[in-house]
Amino acid sequence: MPRKKTATLTLHCKDAPGIVAHISNFIFERGGNIITSHHHSDELNNQFFMRVHFDTEKLKLTNKNFEDDLAATASDYKMETVLSFSSNRKKMAVMVSKYDHCLYDLLLRHQYGEINADLSLIVSNHRDLEHVAKAFKIPFFYIPVTKETKVEAEGKQIEIFQQHNIDFIAMARYMQILSPKILDAYAYRIINVHHGFLPAFKGARPYHQAHEGGVKIIGATSHFATAELDMGPIIDQETIRVDHTHSVESMLAMGRDVEKQVLATAIKAYAQDQIIVYKNRTIVFPE
């Protein structure tokens, strides 16, 4: 059965009366039928945020003409808008090193149709997971990275992403710090995951440090990658309670589960245009 043709509009602007009615009428007058609509007013910054998902089967004009009309009406409110049509699925790349749990999870979710995007390729600085890519029939690009070759390697990565028209990137435990070159090229389009609920245990072997420190909560955070390491706008977070009976091994297993969960949640939200970034915060709308 063919998929229904839909579009998703996200927007933000200075708050003002009548925006919801204005946008709803705009879509209705052009033949669109709203499926879901969510909005949020931020009183502190006097900002308005909205996400509308609508049916375009009976749209009275072409996608391009609809975009042109939207640009004109957006100027009335000085809106920043993003419009996506279901006929133009986003293309996703995955960056990974040696840990495989997040990669397997994303590949399976993509295979089951849970991620509304095309998983186009995998880039890695090691060959360890090349067999996984082959098993799922996903193109795999091995680009080794050393201190001396980092600039050249990232240049190759960007070139590959551009050649394949990649829209966004998932860092599925890619154990390299990205430079401003690639971060700027894909600003707020690179999603990372880390053990964000272990702030006192940075660096190597964080779960071992946490075990020795007797922590009571472990967890993970998915966020947009920025130049400030692990400090980009947060998309999703989860925690798990632990106690003195948990071994390092059990904490590692629990950590893997929560890491892949928060990464997948962020990827799915981005693919479905549920996220708006404002300053260093995210507004994450329901589906």
Per the annotation, the verdict on 230 as an active-site residue is yes
Please pick, among 69, 230, 236, 273, the residue that the annotation labels catalytic.
Answer: 230
- What is the Cα Rg of the chain in Å? 21
Q: Give me the active site residues, please.
A: 230
